[in-house]
């Protein structure tokens, strides 16, 4: 099975998502998108696969979002894509692609919905938040 994660190792959500994928028994292709940004074509493909708009994929926290005035509705989808390509940190993460679908894995446990083997056993995030209990069931918050 082929799984790809567009990953930022400095992001806790991205690290937790990668850990969930690995605990499922899969070793994904890890694309550190800040070092190797997707092409415009790939970014458009990912956004379409997630049934999102470029604006919905924009990340605000820890990015130049405010200084670039990206909340301004004057920016078209093409403009937003241009900004993301110029500043990959604006691309929200992690994006995970599996044969079962493509998602923005926020929260990280959302990735379970598209894994071939979502029965990963007990799992807690880095901060200790239990996602799957000892009984193998997802903890609902």
**Adjacent-strand bridge partners of 91:** 58
Neighbours of 77 (CB within 10 A): 12
Closest CA to 24 of 91, 118, 100: 118
Which one of the listed residues 5, 11, 112, 114 is annotated catalytic? 11
How many angstroms separate the CA atoms of 18 and 10, rounded?
12
DSSP state of 11: -
Identify whether 11 is a catalytic site residue: yes
Neighbours of 114 (CB within 10 A): 18
Backbone angles phi, psi at 7, to 5 degrees: -120, 145
Which sequence positions are flagged as catalytic? 11
């Amino acid at each position: 099975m082929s799984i790809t994660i567009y990953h930022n190792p400095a992001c806790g959500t991205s690290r937790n998502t990668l850990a969930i994928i690995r605990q499922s028994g899969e070793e994904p292709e890890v694309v550190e998108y800040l070092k190797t940004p997707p092409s415009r074509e790939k970014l458009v493909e990912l956004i379409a696969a997630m049934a999102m708009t470029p604006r919905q994929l924009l990340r605000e926290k820890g990015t130049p979002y405010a200084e670039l005035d990206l909340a301004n509705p004057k920016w078209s989808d093409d403009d937003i894509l241009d900004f993301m390509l110029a500043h990959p940190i604006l691309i929200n993460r992690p994006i995970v692609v599996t044969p079962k679908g493509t998602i923005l894995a926020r929260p990280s446990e959302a990735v379970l919905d598209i894994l071939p083997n979502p029965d990963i056993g007990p799992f807690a995030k880095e901060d200790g938040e239990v996602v799957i209990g000892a009984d193998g069931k997802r903890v609902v918050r």
